[in-house]
Amino acid sequence: MRPTPVVTGKAALLRALKHALDGEKEANEFLRMVLWDAHMQAVPEGRDAYEAFVREEVLPRLVPMVRLDKLHDLVRRTIGEEGSLHPPPLKVHGAVPGEQPAASRRARVVLVDADAFRRMGVSRELVRAGFDVEVVATPAEVLNVEAFHAVILPLDEEGERVARALASAGTRAGLVTYDDASHRAAVKRVIDAWPSDKVAIVGRDATPAALCSRVKIVIG
């Protein structure tokens, strides 16, 4: 039998989110956005309502934003159970009863964006499109991410430095960046240095769907 949560409500959830998102400010901002997106005024206090809120509103929005170990840690801290976060792929039509489905390989995308609200919107669109998503707030963090197929990277000073480091290492990943008037020279330099033609440019205010379509182009 799974353990009953010792404490429910906003304070308990914020403590768990603080561990998952590495900061109190990030936890508060994330919870505020979840409540707004779910059209709710407050975190439920009752046990059943609280657990339903965590399962149905918090976890689906958190999945694209944190590593799996942190997601499981949050589950343990809040509702005390694991499983069903990443169900196995569906069997193909006509599969033999009892046959185990083969795991599908999903392209991995690194999303760099300092704006938490935009990170959530873009990452959710990418997950819906079938990508695995690694979300980071600064370009420098990209260099610590394991192998990936594409990166969405603004080419400010730090972004250009990271892009050049990737290019020097002979990356085979695709690059999606933004058409920013103040960074067009940097964009040109990076395109010239990038090891392949897998580069796409979108407007700085591009919708999550537009970004997702460019990712498909540079990966395809």
Arithmetic mean of pLDDT, 2-19: 74
Tell if the pTM clears 0.85, that is, is over it.
no
Q: What is the pLDDT of residues 184-219, one digit of tens each?
A: 999 999 999 999 999 999 998 889 899 999 999 998
Whether 95 maps to a domain, the answer reads no
Whether 61 maps to a domain, the answer reads yes
Residues 26 and 129 in one domain: no
Whether 94 maps to a domain, the answer reads no
Residues 63 and 160 in one domain: no
Residues 115 and 204 in one domain: yes
The CATH number of whichever domain residue 208 belongs to comes to: 3.40.50.2300
Residues 60 and 148 in one domain: no
Whether 62 maps to a domain, the answer reads yes
Instruction: Count structural domains, the chain.
Output: 2
Domain that holds residue 20: 10-78
**Dihedral angle computed from the Cα positions of residues 125, 126, 129 and 132, in that order, rounded to the nearest 10 degrees:** -140
Residues 116 and 47 in one domain: no
Residue 179's closest CA among 213, 203, 153? 203
Amino acid identity of 74?
L
Q: Return the percentage of the chain with pLDDT > 70, whole number.
A: 85
Q: What is the pLDDT of residues 129-154, one digit of tens each?
A: 888 888 888 999 998 888 889 999 99
Comparing 22-31, 52-61, 67-76, the range with the smallest average pLDDT is: 67-76
R_g of the chain computed on alpha carbons: 20
Residues 146 and 207 in one domain: yes
Strand ordering across the sheet containing 132-136: 132-136, 108-112, 150-152, 174-179, 199-203
